Amino acid sequence: MKSLRFPRSPKVIVGMVILGFFIFLMIFGPYLAPYSPDNTNFAPLLTPSAHHWFGTTSLGQDIFSQTLVGARATMVVAGVAGLAATMLSILIGISAGYIGGFTDDGLSLMSNVFLALPGLPLLIVIDSYLPVNSRSNSLIIGLIISLTGWAWGARVLRAQTMSLRNRDFVESARIIGEKRMRIMFSEIAPNLLPILASSLLFTILYSIGAYVTLAYIGLTSTSVWNWGTMLFWAQSNNAPLSGEWYWFIPPGMCIALVGTSLALLNFGIDEFINPRLRAGGLSGRQRRRLGMPRRQRLGFTPVVRSVTTAPRVSVQTQNPVTP
Amino acid sequence: MTTESKRVDDVVPNELPPQALPTTTYGPITATTHSEATMGERILDVRNFSVDYGWGNNAVRAVDDVDVHLDRSKVLGIAGESGSGKSTLVYAITRLLRAPGVIKGGEARFNLGSDDEGEHVIDLVNASERELRSVRWSSISIVLQSALSALNPVVRVGSQFEQVLKTHRKHMSKDERRARAAALLAMVGLDEDRLDRFPHELSGGQRQRIMIALALTLDPQLVIMDEPTTALDVVTQREIISELFELRAQFGFAMIFITHDLSLLTELADEIVVMYAGALVERATARELYEAPRHPYSLGLLNSFPPMHGERTELSGIPGSPPDLAHLPTGCRFHPRCPYAMERCTNETPPLVEIQGTDRSVACWLHVGDPAVAVPVELSRVATGATTVDPAKDVTR
């Protein structure tokens, strides 16, 4: 399995480091926060200083603590929503693509409807029907966001499944007599891994956006700190207008960085899945040391001379023949 | 034609110091040198050709220091088991080998023909992308193994001819292109109305014929056939082969024929090279190889196929399986499977030795090296010409 190393290109390393940092914050952020995010005992609107790294809000809360504490809810909701939406899209996409017929018609209609419905207004409607106490529940919010995020992945998976369902290996699995579920999830699903992985990353990205937006317009419980509620308070206290940049830049930057890391990881998945791109996982220095060309083009095999050749020889006669 | 030198050549000299001559105690061993002058009738001259898969420590030598050459209008057969490097060699010569394939050394000079200015020779290994593109298809064309995947399934057959002619024969009008395509189809025994079909509407044999017609579209000097008939039934195979030879008689292109079917090659080829685990083990004319093989591996390959003519013989095959190229056996690559293996074979690699005056080479310690070693009788037959039917007569029925 040594060929299954994750590529070590700079893009992937940067992406993994950034994402790892935010996962670390998700787990340990609330314990690392120097103050309670609700603590209003400080002077309002302090600019960043050694005591308050990101300054304070107009209520005198420590923004650094809010950012650290807010990482957990944001990341958990994004993860839950991303995973749930991907599960849904696997289930619906593969079934629609493999089973076909009325099943396909029904499931495709459903995913088309969800694709056509604008996600955010739908989310707002669903969210406003939630009892107020469940608006603080990350799990429930995540599941609701996943409802609007699965359709795109399902369409893509359906299309790919349809192209796989008539391949010979699926045909032979059918002839062997494997069950339909087994063919769908053991024969076909592994072939969809590259699409699944990138679809998961992009669904997570979408979920962060959706959750932050919901919080930003005040539809999640304001008692749960996340980067969206920070932006909500910053906005409702006119921070952008009065130049209190230290209030809205930290949560904004965090959201942008998580998004960047997911996009970078997606490049890595591409190289990881496609073995022909795998040489691309080497760093520039490694390529030069191996004498590799900068880029290898199809239909133009590279030449790297490094072989000693044996001399060409001839003899006049050959060994005697057995009588 | 001068070829511009690539950057890597500036770092590593083209000529690397040769290794010492092998220790053979028999006969005067002489190092042979090839004249660098004109190519004359020779159309392709490949020397010291090595190809790796992968880079650095993971590299595997798939073709090791191979020489092949081919004269105008002749047929060179390349035989060997799956994984012996036949296709790798040919695709690397044409520079079509995909990543992670790398050419690690050697030259592949292609003779484009001569005019008043003298010979136009291009070294495919040093050629630029532009030069390669001008040579491909117009001078060297390829018939791929799998005709179904080589033809674009959503484009009508006629348009595929059209595309080739549009790219390389810009002066032709639409009607001329259509006429040329129809003539090509007629050459391979297909009706003109096939031009309006999609590839999936045709049978395997028809598709393979279309591949051959496509390869001949631009009157190439060299056509490479990569197992062109392997996926077809024997009857169709025979028909296509005989058509190929009529076409060759008509147009005089040279062919490189890759197959593991040695009995087919002995009828088709003028010269045959046998590859084993990336190295040449024997080179001989088709008749000599068929009637009087020198290398035990060639003998084993011949014994694996029923002869097309002559008495019935027991099929024996070759025991064992080809070696892992990443862990080649020491000494002769073939010795673990060779019934005649001697002690020397396990330690020393036999060089490919040209036997002077016989126009053939073999890499086997049985034949060169020690005069005390007697050659088994089945490896020392003399070709008489008695068993081989004239190929031209046979294939055209």
CATH code of the domain containing B205: 3.40.50.300
CB proximity B95 to A under 8 Å: yes
Tell whether B92 and B123 lie within a shared domain. yes
Tell whether B204 and B252 lie within a shared domain. yes
Q: What number of residues does chain B have? A: 397
**Does B396 map to a domain?**
no
**Does A255 map to a domain?**
yes
How far is it between the farthest Cα atoms of chain A? 111
**Does B274 map to a domain?**
no
Classify the phi-psi angles of B357: left when phi > 0, otherwise alpha if psi is within -120 to 50, otherwise beta.
Answer: left
**pLDDT score at B21:** 53
**Does B221 map to a domain?**
yes
Tell whether B363 and B298 lie within a shared domain. yes
CB proximity B92 to A under 8 Å: yes
Contact between chains at B28 and A316 (C-beta distance less than 8 A)? yes
Tell whether B209 and B111 lie within a shared domain. no
Is residue A242 within 8 Å of A259, Cβ to Cβ?
no
**Does A314 map to a domain?**
no
Instruction: Give the DSSP H or E segment for A313.
Output: strand A313-315
A303: closest CA among B209, B393, B125? B125
Tell whether B167 and B199 lie within a shared domain. yes
Tell whether B49 and B97 lie within a shared domain. yes
Residue position matching structure tokens 């001379």: A305
Q: Print the domain residue range for A161.
A: 2-290
For residue B354, the cross-strand partners are: A314, B361
**pLDDT score at A56:** 80
**pLDDT score at A122:** 82
Q: How confident is the model over A200-220, as a mean pLDDT?
A: 86
Interface of B with A in 19-48 (CB under 8 A): 19, 21-22, 24, 26-34, 48
Of B17, B95, B104, the CB nearest to A304: B104
Of B65, B354, B356, the CB nearest to A310: B65
**Number of domains into which chain B is organized:** 3
Which residues of chain B have a CB within 8 Å of the CB of A299? 95-96, 132
Which residues of chain A have a CB within 8 Å of the CB of B87? none
**Does A309 map to a domain?**
no
Tokens of residue B220, six digits: 């190439």
Which residues of chain B have a CB within 8 Å of the CB of A279? 55, 99-100
Percent of chain A past pLDDT 90, that is, above it, reads 9
**pLDDT score at A174:** 87
**Does B248 map to a domain?**
yes
**Does B112 map to a domain?**
yes
* Tens-digit pLDDT string for chain B (397 aa): 444 433 333 334 444 444 555 555 455 556 665 555 567 788 899 988 999 888 777 788 889 888 898 988 899 999 888 888 888 999 999 888 887 788 888 888 888 877 777 778 888 888 888 888 888 888 899 988 776 678 888 889 999 888 888 888 888 888 999 999 999 888 888 888 888 988 888 888 888 888 888 888 888 899 998 888 777 778 888 888 888 888 888 888 999 999 877 778 888 889 999 999 989 999 998 888 888 888 899 888 888 877 666 666 667 778 888 888 888 888 888 888 888 888 888 888 888 888 777 778 888 888 876 777 777 877 877 777 655 444 444 443 3
**Does B4 map to a domain?**
no
Q: Where are the beta strands (DSSP E) in chain B?
A: 30-31, 42-53, 60-71, 75-79, 101-115, 118-123, 140-143, 222-226, 254-258, 271-276, 279-285, 353-355, 360-362
Interface of B with A in 368-397 (CB under 8 A): 368-371, 373-377, 380
What mean pLDDT value characterizes chain A? 81
CB proximity A276 to B under 8 Å: yes
Instruction: Give the DSSP H or E segment for A283.
Output: none
Tell whether B56 and B84 lie within a shared domain. yes
Q: HSE-up of A143 (CA within 13 Å, CB side)?
A: 7
Here the CATH number for the domain that contains residue A62 is: 1.10.3720.10
Instruction: Give the DSSP H or E segment for A81.
Output: helix A63-99
CB proximity A285 to B under 8 Å: no
pLDDT in tens, A243-291: 778 888 888 899 899 999 998 888 777 776 665 555 545 556 666 766 6
**Does A299 map to a domain?**
no
**pLDDT score at A249:** 86
Chain A nearest CA to B155, separation (Å): 19
Band of residue A195 on the pLDDT scale cut at 50, 70, 90: confident
**Does A304 map to a domain?**
no
Of A276, A308, A319, the CB nearest to B367: A319
Of B6, B29, B129, the CB nearest to A303: B6
The angle that helices A193-216 and A138-149 make with each other, rounded to 10 degrees, is 120
Of B16, B55, B67, the CB nearest to A308: B16
Of A279, A291, A311, the CB nearest to B18: A311
Tell whether B234 and B212 lie within a shared domain. yes
Q: How confident is the model over A188-200, as a mean pLDDT?
A: 86
Residue B378 CA to residue B307 CA, distance in Å, equals 16
Q: Number of residue pairs across A and B with CB atoms under 8 Å?
A: 153
The angle that helices A151-164 and A193-216 make with each other, rounded to 10 degrees, is 170
**pLDDT score at A257:** 92
Of A302, A309, A322, the CB nearest to B18: A309
pLDDT in tens, A128-153: 888 877 777 788 888 888 888 888 88
**pLDDT score at A274:** 64
Residue A84 scores a pLDDT above 90? yes
Torsion angle of C-alpha atoms A139, A140, A146, A147, degrees rounded to 10 = 160
**pLDDT score at B24:** 52
**pLDDT score at A141:** 83
CB proximity B176 to A under 8 Å: no
Q: How confident is the model over A1-24, as a mean pLDDT?
A: 75
pLDDT in tens, A275-285: 555 554 555 66
**pLDDT score at A261:** 92
Which residues of chain B have a CB within 8 Å of the CB of A301? 91-92, 95-98, 101-103
Which residues of chain B have a CB within 8 Å of the CB of A321? 374-375, 377, 380
**Number of domains into which chain A is organized:** 1
Domain final residue pick, B210, B238, B260 = B260
Beta-carbon contacts of A45 under 8 Å, excluding residues fewer than 6 positions away, are A55, A56, A57, A58, A244
Band of residue A6 on the pLDDT scale cut at 50, 70, 90: low
CB neighbours (10 Å) of residue B250? 10
Which residues of chain B have a CB within 8 Å of the CB of A314? 29-30, 32, 353-356, 361
Is residue B236 within 8 Å of B253, Cβ to Cβ?
no
Chain A nearest CA to B269, separation (Å): 24
Contact between chains at B32 and A297 (C-beta distance less than 8 A)? no
Of B16, B31, B55, the CB nearest to A313: B31
**Does A318 map to a domain?**
no
So what's the ipTM on this one? 0.71
**pLDDT score at B12:** 40
**Does A190 map to a domain?**
yes
Chain A nearest CA to B68, separation (Å): 13
Surface-to-core class of residue B225, CB atoms within 10 Å of its CB (0-12 exposed, 13-18 middle, 19+ buried): buried
Q: Print the domain residue range for B165.
A: 137-260
Question: Is the pTM value of this prediction over 0.90?
Answer: no
Tell whether B211 and B120 lie within a shared domain. no
Chain A nearest CA to B32, separation (Å): 5
**Does A321 map to a domain?**
no
**Does B395 map to a domain?**
no
Tell whether B314 and B295 lie within a shared domain. yes
Which residues of chain B have a CB within 8 Å of the CB of A322? 374-377, 380
Query: Strand pairing of B279-285 and B271-276?
Result: antiparallel
